[in-house]
Amino acid sequence: MTSNYQEFKPSTALQPFVNNYWLHSFEAIGNQESPVQRCLPFGVLEIIIQLDDNHCHVLHNNHWQKLPHAFFVGLYRDAVQWKCIGSGRKFGIQLKPESLLQLFNVPAASLFNDFTDLENVFGKKINRLVENVYDQPDITSVIAAVETFLLAQLRNLNAERNYVFEAARLIRQSKGNVSIEALSERLYISKRQLERSFKDNYGTTPKVYQRIIRFRNAYEYFYQNRTAPSWLDISYNFGYSDQAHFIRDFKEFTSEVPTMVFHDTEQKFRVPTCWGIYVA
């Protein structure tokens, strides 16, 4: 089986809300299974639609479970293992956590570390989008349909300043190198109030989100290196107290030590070089 992964930039109007779109394709002989893939926690929400009538399964509670045709993924703190059976394409929309509330007035808290059918989050109106992209052979047409749907949601935009939205943005801006105390001071609210409101909206604490974002930036940095990086340097550059702290966090979010991930010959943790393309 062969696989290919591509990323695409959203239009300018949607960039404050959407990280990227992605397409993961598998070419197989018959019902050949893909190697087990592993998605890492990167601090985003995702809408995922299977563009073909194929079968993907996720390891959930130690059992392989068939994924819905279209589903929503909340913020994760664990690595997720999944596999594809036969040829097929999965299309994803990576949303910033605050975007769900801003565009759809739906909190993500109940889906922390979990996923569900798209209809359970967005109602039956989402089925029109799923129907519009299903079996489309051209990724440009898929993204055009998605952009039309998302741009329509801008009419419902909650543009009011919200310290919970600002907290998530500031954590990302700092690459996870901001203390919760400094965050609460910057936003003129108590630490306790910030923690409570953040968890009510996103399902986790600002501290956990901060750690996920710091991990993401460290991971992306060493992923770009062709030679084994210095874990000590990464620890220093990304705000960990020491190398042991970095390795402990890394293992918590991937279930593996960084050396194993870097040298993984099957690349089950990694994705091939992405295309930074904006599709209108």
pLDDT, tens digit, for every residue of 162-179? Answer: 999 999 999 999 999 999
The reply to whether 41 falls in a domain is: yes
User: pLDDT at position 257, please?
Assistant: 85
- Averaged pLDDT, 44-49: 96
Give the E-state strand segments of the chain in sequence order: 2-9, 18-27, 37-39, 45-50, 55-60, 63-66, 70-73, 80-85, 88-95, 115-117, 277-278
User: pLDDT at position 203, please?
Assistant: 95
Q: Which two tokens stand for residue 210?
A: 């901060």
The reply to whether 222 falls in a domain is: no
Calculate Rg over the CA atoms of the chain. Answer: 19
- Averaged pLDDT, 180-184: 96
Q: Is the pLDDT of residue 113 over 50?
A: yes
Domain, as residue range, for 274: 2-157+267-278
The reply to whether 231 falls in a domain is: no
- Interior/surface letters 77-100, b for 16+ CB within 10 angstroms, e for the rest: bebbbbbbbbbbbbbbbbbbbbbb
User: pLDDT at position 208, please?
Assistant: 96
The reply to whether 50 falls in a domain is: yes
Q: Is the pLDDT of residue 127 over 50?
A: yes
Q: Which two tokens stand for residue 129?
A: 């989008």
Average model confidence (pLDDT) across the chain:
88
User: pLDDT at position 268, please?
Assistant: 52
Eight-class DSSP state of 174:
T
Closest CA to 171 of 202, 220, 212: 212
Q: Is the pLDDT of residue 279 over 60?
A: no
| CATH number for the domain harbouring residue 149 | 2.60.120
DSSP-based three-state secondary structure for 189? coil
Which secondary-structure segment (H or E) carries 210?
helix 206-223
Closest CA to 276 of 15, 4, 24, 8: 8
The reply to whether 40 falls in a domain is: yes
Higher pLDDT, 3 or 169: 169
Give the count of domains, the chain. Answer: 1
The reply to whether 103 falls in a domain is: yes
Residue 45: strand pairing partners: 95
Record the pTM. Answer: 0.89
- Averaged pLDDT, 192-205: 96
Q: How confident is the model at residue 199 (pLDDT cuts 50, 70, 90)?
A: very high
- Averaged pLDDT, 74-96: 93
Lowest mean pLDDT among 192-201, 224-233, 238-247: 224-233
Distance CA 33, CA 53 (A): 15
Q: Is the pLDDT of residue 273 over 50?
A: no
* Percent share of the chain, pLDDT over 70: 93
Residue 23 sits at φ, ψ, to 5 deg, of -130, 125
The reply to whether 188 falls in a domain is: no
The reply to whether 213 falls in a domain is: no
Single-letter amino acid code for the residue at 275: W
Burial class (CB in 10 A: 0-12, 13-18, 19+), 234: buried
